[in-house]
Amino acid sequence: MSTSKICVVVVSGTLERLQMAAMVASVGAVSGQEVLVFLSMNALPHFIKGRNVKAPHEGEMGALMSGKKVPDFKTLMEQAVELGDAKVYPCSMAMDVLGVDQHDLENYLTEATGLTKFLDDARDGQVWTF
C-alpha cells in the first residue's frame, strides 16, 4: 500500500458518515499510513467525554449497523491512534462554539487545531470529507 498521508475531515454527526470516517482512519493507520483526522461541526459533540447520545442514522445501512455487532466509530478512532500513526484533532472553532475545553474531550484526541493549520498539514495528502 502507498505511504501517502490520509487526511479525513469529519463534519457530519450521522452514524454512517462517522462510521465510514473512522473505518478509513483505522484501516489507513493500521496499514502503516500517516492519518490526520479533523473533527468539527456536528461530529465533534460525539467525542465529548461522557456524552452517550446515539448518532442518528441516514438510512437503511445505519439502521442495520445499529442492530449488528459493528465496532463503534469512537472505538475505531481510538484504535487508529493506538495501533497506527493517526492523530485526531478537534477543531478549535467548534470547541469555542460548544464551550468545551481539551479536558472535556476523549483522551485520544490531540491538541485542538484550526482549519488553516490542518489544511496546511494536509497539503501533500489525500483528503477525504465526511
Q: Domain holding 118: CATH number?
A: 3.40.1260.10
Query: What is the DSSP code (8-state) at residue 47?
Result: G
Based on the structure, what is the number of domains in the chain?
1
Distances (CA, A) of 46 to 3, 10, 61, 71, 99: 30, 11, 19, 15, 14
Identify which of 52, 48, 47, 50 has the alpha carbon closest to the alpha carbon of residue 37. Answer: 47
Is residue 92 assigned to a domain? no
What are the backbone angles phi and psi of residue 118, rounded to the nearest 5°? -60, -45
Alpha carbon distance 98, 2 (integer Å): 37
Residue 10 · residue 17 · CB < 8 Å? yes
Alpha carbon distance 27, 76 (integer Å): 9
List per-block mean pLDDT (blocks of 10 residues) for the chain, which spans 130 residues: 82 96 97 97 96 88 82 95 96 98 97 97 94
Q: What is the pLDDT of residue 114?
A: 98
Is residue 88 assigned to a domain? no
All 3 cell numbers of residue 17?
458518515
Q: Where in the sequence is the domain holding 32, given as residue range(s)?
A: 6-83+100-129
Is residue 89 assigned to a domain? no
Is residue 72 assigned to a domain? yes
Q: What is the pLDDT of residue 4?
A: 83
Is residue 1 assigned to a domain? no
Alpha carbon distance 119, 104 (integer Å): 24
Q: pTM score, two decimals?
A: 0.93
